[in-house]
Every structure is written in structure tokens, then in C-alpha cells.
Amino acid sequence: MIVLSRKTIKGASSSFWMQSLGALVLFCVFHSISGYSERERAHDLMSRYPLIDGHNDLALQLRILHDNRLSQIDLHNVSKVATDIYRLQAGHVQAQMFAVYVMCGAQQKDAVRLTLEQIDVVRRMCTEYQDFELVTSAQELKNAEMRRKIACLISVEGGHSIDSSIPTLRMLYQLGVRSMALTHTCNTPWAESSSKLYNVFQRQNNSLTEFGKAVVDEMNRLGMIVDLSHTSWDTALAVLKHSKASVIFSHSSSYSICNHSRNVPDWLLHELKKNNGLIMVNLHSKFISCKDEANISRVADHFDHIKKVVGAESIGVGGDFEGAVSFPKGLEDVSKYPALIQELLQRKWTEDELANVLRRNFQRVFEDVEKVRDQLSSKRPSEVQIPLEEVQNPCRLVLRPPGSTGLRSDQNTSSGAEHGSPGLLILVPVLLLASLFVTE
């Protein structure tokens, strides 16, 4: 039997704790230097609260690169783009708002046809691949998460896609569209863009017309999310004061950090806060650093600033992958999202705040939009029509024969009645023939 003195035991115990403390310090220093701890925390957090991304233009790239021929590619692994199924899974992206975008040059031409074709390709890719699931409600979004599917939400990017027609808006909703940006880089006859690229539908002190308000009202009635990214600040303010439901900026950043017209100033963020809406931070380098190059730290500056102004409950993520040309170093594709969450963890964002940013804020807005829809369920579909003089569209057919009452001789109708439009020449005998079968 070995007997140790208290002094010996005390010395050994002290030595043990000193060694243990030293090992702990080295462990913490190692993990701090390597970033391993934060990286693991980021992945763990995102596995529990996977990301809802507010904006992705993959459908546009499918048209540009593959002419929408899905049979020619495998969406699990797609070259020349930043988005595919494997990378979405690696980035913990559980839900993706896929943008249906057609260029502003199609306005007053074939924008509606092109929009339908883009909706078709999104619906196809989200129903033909088992990893995806097309969702059209807040509950379906939750269900897809439980089934470990990548939820697809369809968002139309630009009000020119409805050709100033509320019935067309309703038909897009029937096809699964659950969000629409009121403008893109061009004004519509009823809303104003943040861009001056196209010199069309210029108005003074009328950034949201009466018809524009009717579009917002119908979106509220349908349960379609109003998206203010790409609108002018005046249009955004008008919508925030008019909409009965919460709205989003699906892919915009902070103007105070980068003074680009696509970003949102602090005074407008305060109005968004009153609306209980959401700004989903865009990762495009020019909107992050106001130049072609940026880094993750600068992206996090936008998150920090917006949190300081309106709180973490007003923030989401809208990457804008496939729609922009340059992204911050370390955030080059959708698989890199955990690096952003790691940076925010290092900046002492709490897990609860980040859970809100990752998905809970968007879920709340979607549910609010549906709550307003339910409150308006007794309201009949809008029959508001835009005045022809506001549309100024030479491709619109006026369904009246030449010389009928109410058609001014100087009116520039789309049918070209004064010039013997073939379409109208065919229409007139059809109408006359139809009248023979009308009974009193």
C-alpha cells in the first residue's frame, strides 16, 4: 500500500489542473485560429434552419445556355453556372425563389409569352427532379422542409410581364407564381424603376398610378408577395403606404454601405419595418462594395448595418446568383452560404437572430401575406383596366369595328383600324356573323 502525503497529492492535483488548463487554452487557440469551431457551428445551425434564398436567376441561364432544353442537362451538376442541386444541398439551401425574368425589351411585345415559357421551365425542373418540390403556400414550404426537399417558389421579376393586365396577373397566380417584382430596369405604365436604362413611361410625381395601386390590391387579395427590388424609392414608399400585407425587397442591400440606386436607404428601411416587411441582402459585388470586387467581410457589413437600423427580424438573404456577373471572394456560388453565416457568428450574431435571417423572417412574411388574403376572401376579383392612353401599346388590339362610337379618329389604336389592319378586317365579319345567333 502506497501512502501519499497531502502535500504530494496537492502538488499532483495542481499539476494536473495546470496541464488541463494549458490543453484547453491550446485547444481554444487552435480552434480560434483555424475557424473550425465557427465553421462547424455554421453548418450545424444551417442544418437546423436551412436557408430560404429570395432570388436566383437559374431559369434565365437555362434559356441562354440551353434554350430551355432540360433534356440536354442534368440539374444535379451544371457547368457554367453557380447553381445546381448538389451545390444547393451543400449550401444548406432548402427553399429557392426562382426568378421568372424576361428582358425589358420585350415590353409591349411578347413579354407575356416569354414569361409563360420561363414559368414552364421552372415548373418542369421543380417537378421532374425528385430533389425539388414546387410549393405555393407557407404550409407547403414547411412540409417540403420536413421531407428534406428543396422547395421551389416562383417569382416573376418585372411588372412588364403582365402587360398591364390584372387578369394576366391572376393567371400567373394560377400557374404557381407567388411573388412579383413591380418593375425591373424599365418603368411600366404604372410603376417606376430604380434604373434609368430605358427611357419609357416617364411620369412626374406619379411613381405608382391608380392602376398600380389596383395591381398591389389584387396581389394582396390573391396572396401574392409584392417585391420592391428594382423599384424606385418613390414607388417603394407608395407601395409600403398602400399595401395591406407585408412586402419584400427580394435582392437588395444597404445604400448606406454602398450608394447604388438598387440598394435601400435607411429612411426607407424604417418604412419597411413599419410594414413588418423584409429586405433580403443581395450578394452582387457592385451592390456590396460599389465595384466589381468584394469580400465576405463587406457583405457582413451590410447585415450589421441593417440590423442596427431595423433589427435582425427584418433581414433575409437574396443572393442573386445567375443574375449578376461578379460575387464576393468566398461566395462564388450557392454552396458557399455557410461561409457567410460563419462570418456573422464571428461578429457575435446570436443563433436566434441567424435562424430568423435564414428562414423564419421569410416564413413570417409569407404567412402574413396569406393572412391578408384570407381577410380579403369576400372581395371579388378586380376588374380595373388601365386606360389605353396610359399603355401606349401599338400591339394592343381594340375589339371594336372602325368608326364605332367612342373610338376617336386621332386615337393611335393597336389594331391600326385606320390603315386596314388584317386582324381587324378578319374580326369584323366574325362579329357580324356572331350577331346573327344572338337572341333577344
Asked if the model's pLDDT at residue 104 lies above 80, the reply is yes
Q: How confident is the model at residue 404 (pLDDT cuts 50, 70, 90)?
A: low
Instruction: Tell me the longest C-alpha to C-alpha distance in the chain.
Output: 122
Contacts of residue 430, defined as CB under 8 A and 6 or more positions apart, other chains included, come to none
Q: Would you place residue 84 in the very low, low, confident or very high pLDDT band (cuts 50, 70, 90)?
A: very high
Q: Is 292 among the domain residues?
A: yes
The yes-or-no answer on residue 57 being catalytic is yes
79 & 218 share domain = yes
Whether 38 sits among the annotated catalytic residues: the reply is no
Q: Quick check: is 365 in a domain?
A: yes
281 & 413 share domain: no
Q: Are 193 and 56 part of one and the same domain?
A: yes
**Residue 366 located in a structural domain:** yes
Give yes or no: residues 232 and 354 share one domain.
Answer: yes
Residue 154 is which amino acid?
Answer: I
Mark whether 270 is an active-site residue: no
Nearest 5 degrees, angle CA 113-CA 119-CA 124? 130
C-alpha span between 434 and 418 (Å, rounded):
23
User: Of the residues 38, 145, 160, 184, which is catalytic?
Assistant: 184
- The reply to whether 363 and 402 lie within a common domain is no
Last residue of a domain, one of 345, 375, 405: 375
Residues 331 and 403 in one domain: no
Closest by Cα among 286, 279, 238, 242 to 261: 286
What pLDDT does 277 receive? 98
Which one of 55, 92, 160, 302 is the catalytic residue? 55
Q: Is there a catalytic annotation at residue 110?
A: no
Q: What percent of the chain has pLDDT over 70?
A: 83
Annotation says 55 is catalytic: yes
Query: What burial letters (b/e) apply to 130-161, b meaning 16+ CB within 10 Å?
Result: eebbbbbebeebbebbeeebbbbbbbbbbbbb
Judgement on whether residues 364 and 425 belong to the same structural domain of the protein: no
249 and 333 together in one domain:
yes
Closest among 236, 187, 177, 243 to 215, alpha carbons compared = 243
At 405, the pLDDT band (50, 70, 90 cuts) reads low
**Same domain, residue pair 294 and 356:** yes
Does residue 15 lie within any of the structural domains? Answer: no
In a domain, 245, yes or no: yes
Tell me, yes or no, whether 208 and 343 share the same domain: yes
Give yes or no: 184 in active site: yes
Q: What is the pLDDT of residues 246-261, one digit of tens each?
A: 999 999 999 999 999 9
Q: How many domains does the chain have?
A: 2
Residue ranges making up the domain that contains 186: 40-375
CATH number of the domain that residue 248 is part of:
3.20.20.140
Active-site residue, selected from the candidate residues 53, 133, 218, 251: 251
Compute the C-alpha angle 370/306/192, nearest 5°. 60
**Residue of 218, 271, 320, 368 marked catalytic:** 320
pLDDT of 409 over the 50 cut: no
The catalytic residue among 157, 217, 271, 343 is: 157
Tell me if 31 is assigned to some domain: no
Look at residues 277, 357, 355 and name the one whose alpha carbon lies nearest to residue 319: 357
Same domain, 89 and 212: yes
For residue 132, give the 3-state DSSP assignment: strand
Q: What are phi and psi of 359, to 5 degrees?
A: -155, -35
* Domain membership flag for residue 180: yes
Q: Per the residue annotation, which of 53, 133, 217, 230 is the catalytic one?
A: 230
Query: Are 298 and 406 in the same domain?
Result: no
**pLDDT, position 400:** 76
Does 144 have pLDDT greater than 50? yes
305 is annotated as an active-site residue: no
CA–CA gap between residue 278 and residue 315 (Å, rounded) = 6
| Position 255 in a domain | yes
